[in-house]
Structure 1
Amino acid sequence: MSQPLPELENFIDRLKAISDRYGRVYGVDRGGDWHILKLQEEMGELTQSYLAMTGRSRRDEATARHHVAMEMADVMCMLLLMARAEGIDLNAAITEKWLKWETVMTEESHDA
């Protein structure tokens, strides 16, 4: 089976270069548990923005949708960086965890 996201590794290379710059410029040690902690921080920011977007906080609703999009980008990129740091092959994981259901769905459609 082909990779579900064939450009993923190249994309993560680009993110890592940006993250490496961040570490250099701001003097941030990104080792150890940094990725999981940063991912959790970004999820908190996404939650705050989502609450604003849905009118459930004191934050400005007018710009909240844009903030939700930006925080989703942060969460996704931090997750990809964490996978790289931990040596996780996300293409393999996606294939095993999600895409296996395509075979089941195909079989179900033939049985119907």
Structure 2
Amino acid sequence: MLQELALRFETASVTYAEAHAVERDADWFLMKLMEEAGEVVQAANRLSGRSRRKGLDESELRRCLADETADLLGHVLLLAHHHRLDLQAAIMRKWRFAPEEPTPALPPADR
């Protein structure tokens, strides 16, 4: 599951890099991950009221946070793919579940 998703992000990233003459070296993968983490923080701060909302309503702010979180996830998977990391095995070791197994119903997240 994660490997398939990583390959889809890899394809999109290569296409973007070729179109914009971006060199995807080892440093780039880490710097992009940090850039996207900062954008998640910025979006979360706007949603929580810790930063200017720039005229966006709550649904727009939530969409921004979702978009930035998707970017962060993509760059986590790109970094792992670049370094040939087995994230499924790491999740089993660290979180003690198999990512491909069905997920039990979760309680609603605190807001």
Q: What is the SS of the residue equivalent to 2:96?
A: helix
Q: Which runs of 5+ in 1 are unaligned?
A: 1-6, 101-112
Residues 1:86 and 2:83 aligned together: yes
Identity %: 37
TM-score by length of 2: 0.80
- The structure that has the greater radius of gyration is 1
How many residue pairs get aligned? The number is 94
What CA RMSD, in Å, does the superposition of the two structures yield over aligned residues?
A: 1.2
Deviation at 1:95, TM superposition (A): 0.5
What is residue 27 of structure 1 aligned with on the other side?
A: 21
Runs (4 or more) in structure 1 with deviation over 6 Å come to none
Q: Which runs of 5+ in 2 are unaligned?
A: 98-111
8-17 vs 67-76, which moves further = 8-17
Please list the CA deviations of residues 5-53 of structure 1 after superposition, one character each: whole Å capped at 9, or x if unmatched: xx22111111111000011001000112111100100011111110100
Structure with the larger helix share: 1
Q: 1:77 aligns with which of 45, 59, 74?
A: 74
